[in-house]
Amino acid sequence: MKNTKNQSIPEKFKKIIGNVLQTSYPKRQGATSEVQFFHAEQGNYVCKCSSLPKYRSWLLKEAKVMQELNAKTALSIPTYLDFEEDENNSYLLMSMEPGIPLREALIVAKTVEEKKNLIHSFGTKLRTVHETDPPLKWKQQACWLDMQLKRAAYNLNNYEVDGNQQLLEKLILNKPETIPQTLIHGDCTIDNVLVTDNQVHTFIDLSETAFGDPRYDIALAIRSFLFDKELLDAFYTGYRLQQITNEEFNYFDGGLYEFF
Ligand SMILES: Nc1ncnc2c1ncn2[C@@H]1O[C@H](COP(=O)(O)OP(=O)(O)OP(=O)(O)O)[C@@H](O)[C@H]1O
Ligand SMILES: [Mg+2]
C-alpha cells in the first residue's frame, strides 16, 4: 500500500459529512489520487484527492460524469456529493459504496467456480453499462476513438506515457472497423468494480466514462484473465453482446491504453 498523506479535506466537506467517528483507507491506492474513507454518524463517505494538474483535470471530469449519470441513468455508481479545489489539490466527495474491488475478491475466492461466478457477474454488469442509454449530449460528440487518438497525441507530447510515436502512428493508420458506440466505463479493469455478495455490483473510478467504443471496455475487462479459457468463457457468457478478436484486444489494451 502506498503511504497516505492523510490529506486534510475542505471545510465544506466537513459540514456535509458531520461528525467523523473513524477514518480509513482502501487496501490499494490508485496511481492518480489519494482516497480516504470517512465513517461518520450519518453514513460513510469517500474523499478522492488529486494534486498533479493532469489528475486534477481527470477528477473534475469524474465529478461531472457522476453528476450526469446520477441524474440521468440508473447505473450502480457512487452518489456525487461535492467537488472543491484549492491552490494545491482537487477533492471529490461521494458516497462510500459497499464491497471490495474485484481484484481482491478474486484473490479471496477459494475455488475456480467462485472465480467463474465473479467473472460471469462482471460480464453481466458490463452489459448493463453498454445497454444503458447515455445522456443525450454525450451522443452528439465527435467519434470517441478519433477524440482518444487526439488525446493520446497530446498526452505523448505533454506527459509521461508508456506509448511512443511509432505506436501512435500505427494506431492512427490501423483503426478497427467502426461499430456502434455505446455508453462505456472507459477504465473497466478489475480494480474499478466493487463486489458484494459474490457479485460485481458497483462501478467506480468514472473519469473516462463516455459514449465510446465498447471494445475498449471489453479489452480492459478481460486483460487479467485473457489466457484462462474458463474465466474468459464465464465473462462472455455473462456479457453476451459481442466478443473481441485478438487484433481488437491488442489495438485497445496494448495500444490505445498505453497513452492513458
Ligand atoms: N465510492 C467508493 N466506495 C467504496 N470504495 C471506493 C469508492 N471510491 C473509491 N473506492 C476505493 O478506493 C480505491 C481507489 O479509488 P479509485 O479507483 O476511484 O481511484 P484511483 O484508482 O486513484 O483512480 P485511478 O485508477 O484513476 O488511479 C478503489 O479501488 C476502492 O477500493
Ligand atoms: Mg482505480
pLDDT for residue 3: 43
Mutational pocket test of ligand 1: of 65, 104, 205, 220, the residue with most ligand atoms within 8 Å of the beta carbon: 205
Looking at the CA of 43, name the nearest ligand. 1
Q: Tell me the CA–centroid distance for residue 173 and ligand 2, in Å.
A: 30
The stretch 86-106 carries a mean pLDDT of 97
Closest by CA position to 202, among listed 112, 95, 71, 113: 95
H helix runs in the chain, sequence order: 11-17, 53-72, 102-108, 112-130, 136-139, 144-158, 165-173, 214-222, 229-239, 246-252
Confidence of residue 42 (pLDDT cuts 50, 70, 90): confident
Q: Tell me the CA–centroid distance for residue 131 and ligand 2, in Å.
A: 23
Q: Tell me the CA–centroid distance for residue 204 and ligand 1, in Å.
A: 6
Q: Tell me the CA–centroid distance for residue 190 and ligand 2, in Å.
A: 9
Looking at the CA of 105, name the nearest ligand. 1
Nearest ligand 1 atom, CA 207:
26
Q: Which CATH architecture has domain 11-94?
A: 2-Layer Sandwich (3.30)
pLDDT for residue 4: 47
Enumerate residues lining ligand 1, CB below 6 A.
26, 28, 30-33, 35, 46, 48, 78, 94, 96-97, 101, 191-192, 204-205
A 10 A CB-CB count for 162 gives 11
Looking at the CA of 46, name the nearest ligand. 1
Phi, psi for residue 154 in degrees, rounded to 5: -65, -45
Nearest CA to ligand 1 atom 23: 30
Evaluate whether 233 touches 122 at the Cβ level (below 8 Å): no
Closest by CA position to 244, among listed 206, 199, 213, 200: 213
pLDDT for residue 7: 66
Domain ranges of the chain: 11-94, 100-259
Confidence of residue 6 (pLDDT cuts 50, 70, 90): low
Domain spanning 100-259: which superfamily?
Answer: Aminoglycoside phosphotransferase (APH), C-terminal lobe (3.90.1200.10)
Closest by CA position to 64, among listed 46, 48, 83, 45: 83
Higher pLDDT, 28 or 72: 72
Residues measured by CB to lie within 5 Å of ligand 2, the ion: 30, 191-192, 205
Confidence of residue 8 (pLDDT cuts 50, 70, 90): confident
What pLDDT digit, counting tens, does each position of 187-229 carry?
A: 999 999 999 999 999 999 999 999 999 999 999 999 999 999 9
Looking at the CA of 36, name the nearest ligand. 1
pLDDT for residue 31: 83
Q: Tell me the CA–centroid distance for residue 58 and ligand 2, in Å.
A: 12
